[in-house]
A = this chain, B = another copy of it.
Amino acid sequence: MSYFKIQQIGKVRIEEDSCFIELSKHYSPGLRHLQFFNYIFVLWWISMRDTSKDRSQVLAHPPNLDVEVETGVFACRSPARPNPIGLTKVKVLKIEGNKIFIDRIDAIDGTPVLDIKPYLPGDSVPIDEIKLPEWFDHLKDKK
């Protein structure tokens, strides 16, 4: 099995009344035309879980559950996983220079950002076609 090197391209910024992705100036031209999309995927580095203990975990307890379930790391979105890459779909509010203002993100201020991808029709699954285990029933409220 191989290893690969990834680099930070920017960071998450959480301020009192706004939340944005701040790209390194060098990457600003990479945002050209992003204003024509309204949703993006942000790939970020879960730096607080970049430890050998967390990265060797193969089972996890999904957070915010009423029941105690020990499930595979690939069957939940646990931040402790072999490659701590966070993936969040966010809404784009506006773009100013090297900053993408977004609605929210489940990452803390200063979190390294790895990639930005536009959300395309092929990424969508109709809500009522998504199958979930019973311990994720509470997520169905979001349906």
Q: Which of B27, B74, B83, B89 is A34 in contact with, Cβ under 8 Å?
A: B74
Instruction: State the number of copies, please.
Output: 2
Q: A24-B1, A75-B32, A133-B33 are in contact. Are A124 and B122 (CB under 8 A)?
A: no
A6→B130 contact, CB < 8 A: no
Q: Looking at chain A's contact residues, is the secondary structure mostly helix, strand, loop, or mixed?
A: mixed
Considering the chains assembled together, what is the distance between the CA atoms of A132 and B40 in angstroms? Answer: 11
Tell yes or no: A73 within 8 A of B by CB: yes
A32→B71 contact, CB < 8 A: yes
Tell yes or no: A19 within 8 A of B by CB: no
Tell yes or no: A67 within 8 A of B by CB: no
Q: A89-B123, A120-B130, A121-B139 are in contact. Are A59 and B29 (CB under 8 A)?
A: yes
Tell yes or no: A119 within 8 A of B by CB: yes
- B-chain residues with CB within 8 Å of residue A134 when the two chains form the complex: 36
Tell yes or no: A18 within 8 A of B by CB: no
7 tightest A-B CB contacts, nearest first: A36-B133, A32-B72, A74-B116, A38-B131, A30-B58, A34-B75, A30-B72
What residues make up the interface of A, taking CB atoms closer than 8 Å to B? 1-9, 23-24, 26-27, 29-34, 36-41, 43, 45, 50, 58-59, 69-77, 81-83, 85, 87, 89, 112, 114-127, 129-134, 136, 139-140, 142-143
